[in-house]
């Protein structure tokens, strides 16, 4: 079981700390873990060229044509069984860096339906087609950390990213007034949604 955590916060800030705290929990359960600090990567925005979709519809693998670090992080995410996203709340919602990653990672080229069809097209053409890991079951967990209680769209912004890949959301926590979260014991050890985790675990095992 591989679990990775992706933090969109500042270096060693609240989001990094919570992401690492969550990873330590996963490691205690026996998971292989990895931490990724998103702002260390060179990620360019999606240009909407749809080269990925054209590739998929003609038997290709749907890889993005932009040359940057996306392929590296995509590989980590495709490989993982679980992904923890820890993001600062900016302007009442998910930060730009998360939206940028989401456009590249959750757009049409990573949509479950499109990849099922693309697989069939590729099979008919005798080509390898899309990476089969795009259809792998994945559990995701969202952590949003704010410095005030302005967080109207944080949970919605984060959770929508689970849609196209049909990821199973096992946690979605929004922490208001949490700039010093790592010393807020009640937040670090949050037990809410344990019931959701249990029922979703059953679905993943099925």
Ligand X SMILES: Cc1cc2nc3c(=O)[nH]c(=O)nc-3n(C[C@H](O)[C@H](O)[C@H](O)COP(=O)(O)O)c2cc1C
What's the min distance (Å) between Cβ of 171 and ligand X?
17
Q: Which is nearer to ligand X, 31 or 150 (CB)?
A: 150
What's the min distance (Å) between Cβ of 154 and ligand X?
8
Q: Which is nearer to ligand X, 43 or 122 (CB)?
A: 43
What's the min distance (Å) between Cβ of 178 and ligand X?
7
Residue 134, burial from CB neighbour count under 10 angstroms (0-12, 13-18, 19+): buried
Cα distance between residue 3 and residue 5, in whole Å? 7
Adjacency order of strands within the sheet including 82-88: 32-37, 2-7, 82-88, 139-145, 168-175
Q: Which is nearer to ligand X, 59 or 95 (CB)?
A: 95
Task: Specify the DSSP class assigned to residue 90.
Answer: B
Q: Which is nearer to ligand X, 122 or 145 (CB)?
A: 145
What's the min distance (Å) between Cβ of 112 and ligand X?
31
What residue ranges in 8-66 does DSSP mark as E strands?
A: 32-37
Which residues, at least 6 apart from 77, have a Cβ–Cβ distance to it below 8 Å? 4, 83, 105
What residue ranges in 89-153 does DSSP mark as E strands?
A: 139-145
What's the min distance (Å) between Cβ of 90 and ligand X?
4
Cα distance between residue 123 and residue 128, in whole Å? 7
State the residues that interact with ligand X by CB under 6 A: 9-10, 13-16, 88-92, 145-148, 150-151, 179
């Amino acid at each position: 079981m591989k679990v990775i955590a992706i933090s969109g916060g500042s270096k060693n800030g609240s989001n990094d700390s919570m992401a690492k705290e969550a990873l330590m929990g996963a490691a205690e359960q026996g998971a292989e873990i990895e931490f990724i600090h998103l702002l260390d990567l060179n990620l360019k925005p999606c240009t909407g060229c749809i080269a990925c979709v054209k590739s998929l519809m003609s038997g290709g693998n749907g890889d993005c044509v932009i040359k940057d670090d996306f392929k590296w992080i995509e590989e980590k995410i495709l490989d993982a069984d679980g992904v923890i996203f820890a993001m600062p709340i900016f302007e009442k919602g998910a930060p730009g860096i998360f939206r940028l990653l989401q456009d590249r990672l959750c757009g049409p080229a990573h949509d479950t339906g499109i990849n099922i069809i693309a697989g069939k097209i590729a099979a008919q053409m005798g080509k390898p087609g899309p990476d089969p890991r795009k259809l792998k079951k994945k559990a995701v967990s969202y952590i949003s950390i704010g410095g005030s209680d302005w967080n109207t769209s944080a949970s919605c912004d984060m959770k929508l990213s689970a849609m196209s890949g049909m990821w199973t959301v096992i946690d979605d926590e929004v922490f208001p007034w949490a700039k010093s979260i790592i010393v807020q014991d009640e937040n670090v050890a949050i037990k809410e949604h344990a019931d959701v985790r249990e029922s979703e675990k059953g679905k993943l095992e099925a």
